[in-house]
């Protein structure tokens, strides 16, 4: 099998590791570029959201490189994502590609389908092999998340942002190449030490909570590298959606029926009682949490036409206005011009700056 | 430096505007800046420029070209200018060539803003286009709208729909002033639907940007909001004024980066290319003055912007 999968930030690192350790050839799609975007928007339905189009572009580029097995997430519920694997498969078939599509459905309630996909991927490998491959992949994912977490904290403070970016990229590459759990940990710890050692500005950065739809938060090519931009402007990004954590909650805890309601969902209760799909409830809850925690501003990112986040947005705007919390909402699509985006971000950061100055002068 | 116009404002040490010019960018930002700068040079004579601030969608280009001390986004620049011109302003409506903005201030501080994203339906370019289609100079557009007593209903959501609606009404025999007034109403409706939803618009309201010249739009805003709308004297150059005020606010002990009035005489050259170093294929833009590269930008990794300091070699 020549396996491929759509990009989601640095998730290609653990996924490549997982499938390669199970003895498959892995074809990681080329990074998302203008070419990916134009392929996706050309063949994707216009009013489907950006994640479908980018994923479709990834698949086309990987198929051109010889991939024959596509792994895609499934799902159920109001968010259209659960249906995207089927739509993408039909589009790709109509374009004349030959491939097998494996759709990973949530294990809870779809255990049969989930296990069938696993067996297909395992071929003659044992469950023990799977456990070992999965362990390395999970460690790699955790290490990437840790590096990202550190970069959100340190980027606004370091003087040499370019050197910092280089170190960050270098570390991800080392994690990608590491073959053992020990090597991953070593690469991560060395990088964290090196990041800490870069000279810093003496400055207390304003904090912004980045909330919204998970793909848009985790894929820099889709959110126009918002975390990096904010970091370079001297803003610390607080983010609550992490892939490793999402896996833990949605795959393992769900599966073991240990999943308790998360804090964000509870916080959303007075405003949004029901599950509206995707991360709608989370976005409302995270906004409330940011207000409680004294964060300086909230940025909401979601794909254009995303129903769950549009439901959340109306509530968030009212909540933010009531509480005097600066809120910027970005609905992202292929049309999102970088210049206008940068202008809005800068203006938003200016609001945070004047606010904190004002607060200091009162205290 | 905006998409449609490039404006220059000169202020004195007392923050008073002493000179301003409004030039159409005409798709040639570099030449327009040089032309505007030579106008400034003629006015200044032997005087000294103490600092330069730039803003607008072309601010980064202008900053490199001029050697700016302050590079500020146009939302903040407009808010600063409005706050300085009309102290106590709570709402700023700004409609420019390619985008429109709504800025909410309280106690002189920006607390919220909105900017149209991808659609040009509510902007000056669309008015320009319709004026030329009707064969009316844009300067007379607003005056004609005021003659109307019964504006017709035009769909404002999309410029394409608006245009076909206007043609339909024109063929039905509605009078030109009524159609133009209807267009003004539609544009204002579009602006308020897109930018003002969920926001509290409080008086005093200031209306600025190139479109503020249009009395028809001003009246449509007043009718829609039910309050007076103020148009400041220098409505067309408020962004530039804001940038100048921000440059003025720089500490006095800092020497200016300004490259001098002489740059309007030098030859500049810009080119762009795709970097093939990695799969990102970033589009790199390079600006050179005489034989020296002033800057390169557009890359994600910094490889090209770092090279900028060195001469072409």
The shortest CB-CB distance from B281 to any of A34, A327, A337 is to: A34
**Residues B288-300: tens digit of each pLDDT:** 888 788 888 777 7
Q: Is the pLDDT of residue B154 over 50?
A: yes
Q: How confident is the model at residue B281 (pLDDT cuts 50, 70, 90)?
A: confident
> Residues 65 to 94 of A: which have CB under 8 A from any B CB?
none
Cβ–Cβ below 8 Å for B281 and A326: no
pLDDT score at A208:
96
- Looking at the structure, do residues B102 and B218 belong to the same domain, yes or no? yes
Do A58 and A36 contact (CB within 8 A), yes or no? yes
Mean pLDDT of A89-111: 90
Q: How far is CA A253 from CA A61, A106, A285, B39, in A?
A: 34, 12, 20, 69
Contacts of A333 in chain B (CB under 8 A): 118
pLDDT score at A363:
34
- Looking at the structure, do residues B134 and B207 belong to the same domain, yes or no? yes
CB atoms within 10 A of CB B286: 19
Q: Is the pLDDT of residue B311 over 70?
A: no
Cβ–Cβ below 8 Å for B73 and A317: no
Q: A301: distance to nearest CA of chain B, Å?
A: 14
Nearest CA in chain B to A33: B280
State whether residue B306 sits within 8 Å of chain A by CB.
Answer: yes
Mean pLDDT of B123-142: 84
CA separation for the pair B116, B130 (Å, rounded): 20
What are the start-end ranges of the H helices in chain A? 12-21, 34-43, 50-64, 81-94, 111-122, 127-154, 161-177, 181-197, 214-218, 226-232, 243-247, 254-255, 263-268, 280-293, 307-323, 338-362
CA separation for the pair B127, B216 (Å, rounded): 11
- Looking at the structure, do residues B157 and B117 belong to the same domain, yes or no? yes
Q: What is the DSSP string of A217-280?
A: HH-TTTTTTHHHHHHHTT-EEEE---HHHHHIIIIIIHHTT--PPPHHHHHHTTT--S--STTH
Cβ–Cβ below 8 Å for A340 and B75: no
State the distance between the two ends of chain A, measured CA to CA, in whole angstroms.
64
Q: How confident is the model at residue A260 (pLDDT cuts 50, 70, 90)?
A: low
Cis peptide before A333 (omega within 30 of 0): no
State whether residue A354 sits within 8 Å of chain B by CB.
Answer: yes
DSSP code of residue B158: -
For B248, residues 6+ apart whose C-beta sits below 8 A from its C-beta are: B11, B13, B15, B50, B51, B53
Q: B139: distance to nearest CA of chain A, Å?
A: 28
Q: Write down the residue that tokens 């007593």 correspond to.
A: B149
pLDDT score at A259:
52
Contacts of A337 in chain B (CB under 8 A): 118
Q: Which is more confident, A79 or A183?
A: A183
Q: A260: distance to nearest CA of chain B, Å?
A: 34
The shortest CB-CB distance from B279 to any of A33, A333, A340 is to: A33
Mean pLDDT of A347-357: 80
The shortest CB-CB distance from A340 to any of B112, B115, B279 is to: B115
Q: How confident is the model at residue A255 (pLDDT cuts 50, 70, 90)?
A: low
pLDDT score at B9:
94
- Looking at the structure, do residues B20 and B34 belong to the same domain, yes or no? yes
State whether residue A232 sits within 8 Å of chain B by CB.
Answer: no
- Looking at the structure, do residues B129 and B104 belong to the same domain, yes or no? yes
Q: Is the pLDDT of residue B226 over 90?
A: yes
- Looking at the structure, do residues B139 and B217 belong to the same domain, yes or no? yes
- The region of weakest confidence among A309-318, B137-146, B238-247 is B137-146
pLDDT score at A216:
93
Q: Is the pLDDT of residue B170 over 60?
A: yes
Q: Write down the residue that tokens 């705007």 correspond to.
A: A317
Mean pLDDT of A100-104: 93
Mean pLDDT of B144-167: 83
pLDDT score at A79:
83
Residue A262, both tokens: 């998360």
- Looking at the structure, do residues B171 and B114 belong to the same domain, yes or no? yes
Paired residues of B52 in beta bridges: none
pLDDT score at B161:
76
Q: Is the dihedral of CA A89, A93, A97, A98 positive or negative?
A: positive
**B312 assigned to some structural domain:** no
H or E stretch at B269 = strand B268-274
Cβ–Cβ below 8 Å for B109 and A355: yes
**Residues A274-333: tens digit of each pLDDT:** 888 778 888 999 999 999 999 999 999 999 889 899 999 999 999 998 998 999 999 998
User: What is the residue range of B136's domain?
Assistant: 87-231
Mean pLDDT of A22-33: 94
Mean pLDDT of B90-117: 88
Cβ–Cβ below 8 Å for A321 and B198: yes
- Looking at the structure, do residues B272 and B255 belong to the same domain, yes or no? no
**What mean pLDDT, rounded, does chain A reach?**
89
pLDDT score at B118:
59
- The region of weakest confidence among A70-79, A120-129, A151-160, A200-209 is A70-79
CA separation for the pair A27, A12 (Å, rounded): 10
pLDDT score at A53:
96
Do B231 and B205 contact (CB within 8 A), yes or no? no
CA separation for the pair B20, B14 (Å, rounded): 16
**B60 assigned to some structural domain:** yes
Cβ–Cβ below 8 Å for B73 and A347: yes
**What mean pLDDT, rounded, does chain B reach?**
86
Q: Does pTM top 0.90 for this prediction?
A: no
Mutation pick from A160, A233, A351, A361 vs chain B, by most beta carbons of B within 10 Å, is A351
Q: Is the pLDDT of residue A261 over 70?
A: no
CB atoms within 10 A of CB B228: 11
Cβ–Cβ below 8 Å for B280 and A347: no
- Looking at the structure, do residues B183 and B126 belong to the same domain, yes or no? yes
Total number of domains in chain B: 3
Q: Is the pLDDT of residue B279 over 80?
A: no
Q: Which is more confident, B267 or B242?
A: B242
Q: Do domains A2-123 and A205-363 have the same CATH topology?
A: yes
For B58, residues 6+ apart whose C-beta sits below 8 A from its C-beta are: B1, B2, B3, B6, B25, B29
Report the complex ipTM. 0.80
**Domain map (residue ranges) of chain A:** 2-123, 127-154+158-202, 205-363
Q: B197: distance to nearest CA of chain A, Å?
A: 10
Fold (CATH) for A205-363? Rossmann fold (3.40.50)
Cβ–Cβ below 8 Å for A351 and B200: no
pLDDT score at B307:
62
- Looking at the structure, do residues B196 and B260 belong to the same domain, yes or no? no
Find which of A106-115, A209-218, B130-139, B260-269 is predicted with most confidence, using mean pLDDT.
A209-218
Contacts of B29 in chain A (CB under 8 A): none
The C-alpha R_g of chain A, in whole angstroms, comes to: 21
Q: Is the dihedral of CA A341, A347, A348, A350 positive or negative?
A: positive
- Looking at the structure, do residues B141 and B209 belong to the same domain, yes or no? yes
pLDDT score at A233:
92
Find which of A248-262, B143-157, B166-180, B222-236 is predicted with most confidence, using mean pLDDT.
B222-236
Q: How confident is the model at residue A360 (pLDDT cuts 50, 70, 90)?
A: very low
Cβ–Cβ below 8 Å for A162 and B302: yes
- Looking at the structure, do residues B164 and B218 belong to the same domain, yes or no? yes
**How many contacts, defined by CB atoms under 8 Å, are there between A and B?**
74
State whether residue B196 sits within 8 Å of chain A by CB.
Answer: no
CA separation for the pair A102, B194 (Å, rounded): 41
CATH of range A2-123; options 2.30.280, 3.40.50, 1.20.1070, 3.10.620 = 3.40.50
Q: Is A178 helix (H, G, I), strand (E, B) or coil?
A: coil
For B160, residues 6+ apart whose C-beta sits below 8 A from its C-beta are: none
């Amino acid at each position: 099998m020549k396996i491929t999968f759509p990009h989601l930030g640095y998730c290609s690192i653990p996924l490549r590791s997982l499938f390669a350790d199970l003895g498959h050839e892995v074809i990681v799609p080329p990074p998302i570029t203008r070419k990916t975007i134009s392929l996706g928007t050309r063949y994707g339905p216009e009013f489907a959201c950006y994640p479908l189009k980018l994923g479709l572009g990834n698949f086309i580029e990987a198929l051109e490189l010889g991939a024959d097995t596509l792994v895609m997430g499934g799902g159920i519920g109001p968010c259209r994502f659960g249906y995207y694997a089927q739509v993408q498969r039909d589009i790709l078939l109509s374009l004349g590609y030959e491939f097998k599509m494996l759709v990973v459905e949530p294990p809870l309630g779809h255990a049969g389908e989930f296990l069938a996909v696993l067996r297909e991927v395992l071929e003659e490998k044992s469950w023990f092999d799977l456990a070992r491959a999965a362990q390395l992949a999970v460690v790699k994912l955790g290490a990437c998340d840790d590096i990202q977490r550190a970069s959100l904290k340190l980027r606004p403070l370091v003087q040499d942002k370019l050197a910092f970016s280089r170190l960050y990229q270098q570390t991800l590459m080392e994690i990608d190449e590491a073959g053992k759990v020990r090597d991953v940990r070593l690469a991560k710890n060395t990088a964290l030490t090196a990041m800490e050692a870069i000279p810093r500005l003496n400055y207390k950065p304003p904090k912004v909570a980045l909330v919204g739809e998970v793909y848009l938060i985790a894929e820099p090519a889709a959110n126009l590298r918002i975390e990096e931009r904010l970091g370079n402007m001297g803003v610390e990004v607080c983010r609550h959606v992490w892939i490793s954590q999402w896996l833990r909650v949605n795959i393992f805890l769900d599966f073991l029926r240990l999943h308790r309601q998360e804090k964000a969902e509870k916080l959303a209760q007075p405003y949004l009682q029901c599950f509206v799909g995707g991360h709608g409830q989370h976005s409302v809850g995270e906004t409330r949490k940011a207000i409680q925690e004294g964060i300086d501003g909230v940025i909401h990112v979601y794909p254009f036409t995303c129903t769950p986040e549009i439901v959340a947005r109306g509530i968030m705007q009212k909540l933010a206005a009531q509480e005097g919390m600066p809120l910027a909402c970005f609905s992202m699509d292929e049309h999102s011009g970088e210049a206008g985006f940068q202008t809005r971000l800068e203006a938003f950061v200016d609001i945070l700056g004047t606010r904190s100055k004002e607060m200091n002068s009162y205290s | 430096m905006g998409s449609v116009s490039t404006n220059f404002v000169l202020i004195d040490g007392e923050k008073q505007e002493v000179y301003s010019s409004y030039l159409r960018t005409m798709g040639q930002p570099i030449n327009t800046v040089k032309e505007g700068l030579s106008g400034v040079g003629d006015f200044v004579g032997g005087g000294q420029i103490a600092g330069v601030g730039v803003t607008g969608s072309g601010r980064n280009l202008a900053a490199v070209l001029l050697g700016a001390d302050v590079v500020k986004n146009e939302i903040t620049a407009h808010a600063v200018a409005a706050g300085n011109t009309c102290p106590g302003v709570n709402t700023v409506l700004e409609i420019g060539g390619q985008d429109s903005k709504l800025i909410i201030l309280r106690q002189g501080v920006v607390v919220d803003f909105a900017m149209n994203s991808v659609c040009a339906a509510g902007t000056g370019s669309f008015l320009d286009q319709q004026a030329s289609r009707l064969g009316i100079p844009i300067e007379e557009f607003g005056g004609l709208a005021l003659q109307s007593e019964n504006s017709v209903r035009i769909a404002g959501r999309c410029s394409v729909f608006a245009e076909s609606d206007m043609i339909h009404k024109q063929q039905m025999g509605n009078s030109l002033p009524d159609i133009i007034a209807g267009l003004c109403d539609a544009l204002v409706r579009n602006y308020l639907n897109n930018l003002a939803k969920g926001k509290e618009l409080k008086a005093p309201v200031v209306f600025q940007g190139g479109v503020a010249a249009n009395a028809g739009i001003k009246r449509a805003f007043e009718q829609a909001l039910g309050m007076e709308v103020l148009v400041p004297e220098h409505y067309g150059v408020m962004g530039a004024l804001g940038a100048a005020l921000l440059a003025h606010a720089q500490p006095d002990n800092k020497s200016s980066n300004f490259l001098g009035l002489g740059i309007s005489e030098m030859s500049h050259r810009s080119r762009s290319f795709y970097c093939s170093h990695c799969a990102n294929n970033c589009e790199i833009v390079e600006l050179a003055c005489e034989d020296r590269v002033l800057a390169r930008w557009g890359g994600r990794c910094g490889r090209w912007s770092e090279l900028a300091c060195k001469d072409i070699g």
